Amino acid sequence: MEIISTVAALREAVAKAKAESLTVGLVPTMGALHAGHLSLIERARKECGFVVVSVFVNPTQFNNPDDLRTYPRTVEADCAKLEEAGVDVAFVPSVDEIYPEPDTRVFDLGPVAEVMEGAMRPGHFNGVAQIVSKLFDYVQPDKAYFGEKDFQQIAVIRRMVEIEGFNVEIVPCPIKREADGLAMSSRNVRLTPEQRELAPVIHQVLTDNADMAKDGLDLQSLRDMVVEELNSYDGMEVEYYEIVDPITLQPLENWADAKNGAVGCITVWLGDVRLIDNIKYPD
């Protein structure tokens, strides 16, 4: 595995792979790698002859300076995991390498970026579009892999791809969970032992709610049940829970509108740790 920190060297490595007609796969990450990331890499390995993984904590997508400051950074351990996973290139740039000058681009991401995370974290998705578009420009990947835990992010990236005209297949990959159901996230390491013990209740409540949908309950009641139940736990606070159309990401009013299916998207605070998760409702 090559560890590359400059854009020029990255472009060169990719050009060589393309000259050998290898399919190029990109897995963008912010590091602090866990089994969720490794599952994306495994999929990329199976489908592509040349796999690039970027490890970069992108400052422009953090709307909260404390979150950026405390985001876990474990570059050495990450590179060891990437080597072990059979990655071809680990791209580990500095902030100055990516942003030699401020990125002032504003993407017209439309309604998919206006709700939920977009409403709660102003500028977040524009920052995601900035970094992912830069990575796509450097690597020109045939396929790019993203975890479905960040369900809305995938829709936003699809929109950015449409705007910029990148010729890339976006590959969504299923959420990886701990044995107790907690969605894997780099932020989980920031939970106290007590918070970690409580956190799996998020997935339990969502799974029960999706089961209850089979009994014909209306969307508003289902939504309220999730919020009330999770808020009843000490130290847990739901920021939002929305049951949305999986393509437009717009909140659904009733089941008749759920023509593309329905996904429940949640953000929960445990102390100062913000966790997100989602669940697909049965058709």
By the rule CB under 6 A, 267 interacts with ligand PAF: no
Q: Which is nearer to ligand PAF, 40 or 213 (CB)?
A: 40
Q: What SS3 class is residue 57?
A: coil
Q: Rule CB under 6 A: is residue 128 a binding residue for ligand PAF?
A: yes
Q: Closest approach of Cβ 40 to ligand PAF, in Å?
A: 10
Q: Which amino acid is present at 48?
A: C
Shortest distance in whole angstroms from residue 155 CB to ligand PAF: 13
For the CB of residue 111, give the shortest distance to ligand PAF in the complex, in Å: 20
Tokens of 128: 């995601």
Among 7, 25, 58, 173, contact with ligand PAF (rule: CB under 6 A)? 58
Least spacing, CB of residue 227 vs ligand PAF, in Å: 25
Check binding of 150 to ligand PAF (CB under 6 A).
yes
Helix axes 124-139, 151-164, angle to 10 degrees: 60
Site membership for ligand PAF, residue 264 (CB under 6 A): no
Q: Exposure string (b/e) for 116-132, b if CB count within 10 Å is 16 or more?
A: bbbeebeebbbbbbbbb
Residue 279's DSSP bridge partners are 264
Cα–Cα separations (whole angstroms), residue 183 to 50, 75, 85, 177, 188: 28, 22, 21, 4, 9
Cα gap 155→238, rounded to integer Å:
23
**Residues between 151 and 180 that touch ligand PAF (CB under 6 A):** 153
Among 34, 37, 124, 203, which one carries the catalytic annotation?
37
For residues 261 and 283, the answer to whether their CB atoms sit within 8 Å is: yes
If one asks whether residue 82 binds ligand PAF (CB under 6 A), the answer comes out as no
Helices 219-231/201-212 angle, 10° precision: 160
Name the one residue in this structure whose structure tokens are 């989602």: 278
Cβ nearer to ligand PAF, comparing 142 with 150: 150
Query: How many residues comprise the chain?
Result: 283
Is residue 179 classed exposed, middle or buried when 0-12, 13-18 and 19+ CB atoms within 10 A define those classes? exposed
Nearest distance from C-beta of residue 211 to ligand PAF, angstroms: 29
Contact with ligand PAF (CB under 6 A) among 7, 30, 87, 144: 30
Please tell me the count of residues contacting ligand PAF according to CB under 6 A: 10
124 is catalytic: no
Near ligand PAF by CB under 6 A: residue from 7, 13, 29, 265 = 29
Any alpha helices (H) in 165-200, and if so which ranges? 193-198
CB of 69: closest distance to ligand PAF in angstroms? 16
28 belongs to the binding site for ligand PAF (CB under 6 A): yes
Binding ligand PAF (rule: CB under 6 A), the pick from 131, 201, 243, 258 is: 131
Q: Which residues bind ligand PAF (CB under 6 A)?
A: 28-30, 58, 61, 128, 131-132, 150, 153
Which residues are known catalytic residues? 37
